[in-house]
């Protein structure tokens, strides 16, 4: 008998058919790789139960000059902060215009009258999209600065827990967001109700907005047909994302203050929170692809799960999609609503150091990477704040990875498998299940799960087989190169 090593490279491949994923991992949940070694992601634990009473869509964490650590959370109708002790304070500005918890548009599959358009196709694009409310949150030194996309006013909170956030004096209104530039100007995005205007305050002074010869306040209109979605700080520049293209603003000093250029077309941001910056550059989700800016150029990322992700997103709730970086793991994650869900239930992650992709199921509505707090923080739809990448608790979620099919030769013979030679860090941490078919689209037969022994006795046959490994107990397990004892049987 021949031992066939199942030497499978890191990452998942889920473009096209199942058979096209032969020799690759195709599906999984809550797993990552180091080299080709498969392992679970870190677990999570509750930090603050019922931190907010609505679904939080935005989060920002910072430390003030007194060493106090804060995290701010924005919902459709409230703004909250919590300190390192877990005490939550409501700092909702007086007169805040409430937004919407869920996106809505009167086009799509379920609207209009019977007989309109063709079955299985979206209705004509004739309605205006009402996105789910998000906030842009940042800190200007000790102060929190904030703007709800539905309210449009720029607010500041000075750290006084007995006082709500207040409108920044003289700042423009009807904005789409705010960000503090690397040079410490406060930018208002879509300022004054024009979705293409970027207006900034004087340097180090967020209350001076009228340009004069004695300050550096100013504004620019982006040459774009789209609307500004979000902005990100970069090294020596600020990236401005619209729903169609990408621009960068570079500080040049007086009298022009900032120069602006479009650096990419057809790279529009899918939602206001679907972008993350890390040391190597900025990553974001577009409408049909993922993109990366390395400080000079925008590149469309080769994505091994692109077909699956963009075929699965609930586009009517795309505004809820958000991104977070996990810097210690070298990953960027995007969370989104699957096609059958109106709330976030899935994620896709990209390991930018090793270049692989992974998918899974996890319901989190916003979050931040570790920084001033020891662990990454994420919010559940129920308003609970969790610390992530700590421990091995997954709240009952199944941690697994599943391969594409493998076969002998060109697949014209039956594969008869009798033994599995496991390759684990600690034997017994995972179980294995095999699924066989005679044809790529034929019915599938499951065998197992098998508890790991050395060797593990298994008996099954089929023209093609695929393997599923699953955590058998809460452990920081590792799976390397499994081997199966297999021979070619007769034709069938």
Q: Average pLDDT for residues 432-454, to the nearest whole number?
A: 90
Give the bridge partners for 419, in sequence order.
Answer: 457, 485
pTM: 0.94
Residue 319's φ and ψ, nearest 5 degrees, are -65, -15
C-beta separation of 278 from 326 below 8 A: no
Residue 85 CB partners (closer than 8 Å, separation 6+): none
Q: pLDDT digits over 447-484, tens only?
A: 999 999 989 999 888 888 899 999 999 999 999 999 99
Output the pLDDT for position 114. Answer: 42
What value does the mean pLDDT take over residues 59-86? Answer: 97
> How far is it, in rounded angstroms, from Cα 271 to Cα 201?
26
DSSP count for the chain of H helices, then E strands: 1, 39
pLDDT tens digits for 224-242? 999 999 999 988 899 999 9
Binning pLDDT at 50, 70 and 90, where does residue 112 land?
very low
Percent of the chain with pLDDT over 70: 93
Chain centroid to CA 415: how far?
A: 40
Query: Is residue 97 within 8 Å of residue 167, measured between CB atoms?
Result: no
| Percent over 90 (pLDDT), the chain | 84
- Residue 23 CA to residue 414 CA, distance in Å, equals 17
Task: Give pLDDT, residue 487.
Answer: 80
Q: What is the mean pLDDT of residues 180-205?
A: 98
For residue 406, the model assigns a pLDDT of 84
Q: Residue 111's pLDDT is what?
A: 46
Question: Residue 203 pLDDT > 80, yes or no?
Answer: yes
- Answer with the residue of higher pLDDT: 461 or 336: 336
Residue 99 has pLDDT above 50, yes or no: yes
133 touches 102 (CB < 8 A): no
The whole-angstrom separation of Cα 203 and Cα 256 is 13
Least Cα distance to 408 among 10, 24, 23 occurs for 23
Tokens of 16: 């096209």
Q: How far apart are CA 312 and CA 306, in angstroms?
A: 10
d(CA 6, CA 4): 6
Report DSSP letters for 33-98, one per residue: EETTEEEEPP-EEEEETT--SS---EEEEEE-TTS-EEEEEE-SS-EEEEETT--EEE-PPTTPPP
pLDDT digits (tens, 9 = 90+) for 10-68: 999 999 999 899 999 999 999 999 999 999 999 999 999 999 999 999 999 999 999 99
What is the sign, positive or negative, of the torsion defined by CA atoms of 104, 109, 113, 116? Answer: positive
- Residues 281-295 as b or e (16 or more Cβ within 10 Å = b): bbbbbbbebbbbbee
CB 120 within 8 A of CB 108: no
DSSP string, 213-256: TTS--EEEE---SS-EEEEEEETTEEEEEESS-EEEEEEEETTT
């Amino acid at each position: 008998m021949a031992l066939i090593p199942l030497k499978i490279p890191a990452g998942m491949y889920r473009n096209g058919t199942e058979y096209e994923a032969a020799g690759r991992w195709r599906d999984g949940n809550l797993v990552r790789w180091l080299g080709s070694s498969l392992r679970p992601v870190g677990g999570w634990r509750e930090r603050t139960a019922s931190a907010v009473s609505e679904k939080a869509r935005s989060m920002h964490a910072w430390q003030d000059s007194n060493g106090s650590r804060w995290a701010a959370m924005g919902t459709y109708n409230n703004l909250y902060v919590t300190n390192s002790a877990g005490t939550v304070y409501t700092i909702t500005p007086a007169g805040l215009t409430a937004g919407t918890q869920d996106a809505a548009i009167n086009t799509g599959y379920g609207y209009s009258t019977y007989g309109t358009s063709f079955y299985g196709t979206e209705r004509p694009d004739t309605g205006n999209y009402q996105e789910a409310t998000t906030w842009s949150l940042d800190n200007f030194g000790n102060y929190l600065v904030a703007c709800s996309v539905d309210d449009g006013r720029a607010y500041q909170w000075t750290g006084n827990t007995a006082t709500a956030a207040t409108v920044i004096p003289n700042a423009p209104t009807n904005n789409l967001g705010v960000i503090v530039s690397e040079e410490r100007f406060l930018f208002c995005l879509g300022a004054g109700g024009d979705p293409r205007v970027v207006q900034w305050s004087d340097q180090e002074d967020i209350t001076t907005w009228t340009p004069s010869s004695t300050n550096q306040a100013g504004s620019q209109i982006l040459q774009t047909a789209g609307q500004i979605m979000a902005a990100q700080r970069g090294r020596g520049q600020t990236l401005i994302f619209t729903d169609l293209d990408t621009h960068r603003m570079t500080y040049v000093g007086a009298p022009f203050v900032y120069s602006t250029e479009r650096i990419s077309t057809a790279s529009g941001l899918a939602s206001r929170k679907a972008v993350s910056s890390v040391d190597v550059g900025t990553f974001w989700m577009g409408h049909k692809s993922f993109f990366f800016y390395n400080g000079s150029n925008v590149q469309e990322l080769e994505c091994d799960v692109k077909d699956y992700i963009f075929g699965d997103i609930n586009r009517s709730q795309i505004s809820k999609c958000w991104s977070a970086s996990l810097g210690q793991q070298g990953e960027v994650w995007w969370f989104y609503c699957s096609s059958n869900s109106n709330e976030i239930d899935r994620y896709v992650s990209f390991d930018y150091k090793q270049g692989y992709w992974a998918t899974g199921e996890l319901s989190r509505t916003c979050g931040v990477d570790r920084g001033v707090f020891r662990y990454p923080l994420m919010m559940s739809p129920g308003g609970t704040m969790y610390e992530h990448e700590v421990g091995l608790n997954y709240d009952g979620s199944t941690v697994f990875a599943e391969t594409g099919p493998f076969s002998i030769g060109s697949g014209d013979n039956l594969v008869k498998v009798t033994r599995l030679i496991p390759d684990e860090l600690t034997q017994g941490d995972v179980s294995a299940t095999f699924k066989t078919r005679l044809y790529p689209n034929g019915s599938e037969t499951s065998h197992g799960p098998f508890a790991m022994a050395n060797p593990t006795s298994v008996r099954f046959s089929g023209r093609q087989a695929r393997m599923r490994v699953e955590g058998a107990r809460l452990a920081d397990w590792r799976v390397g190169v499994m081997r199966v004892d297999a021979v070619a049987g007769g034709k069938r």
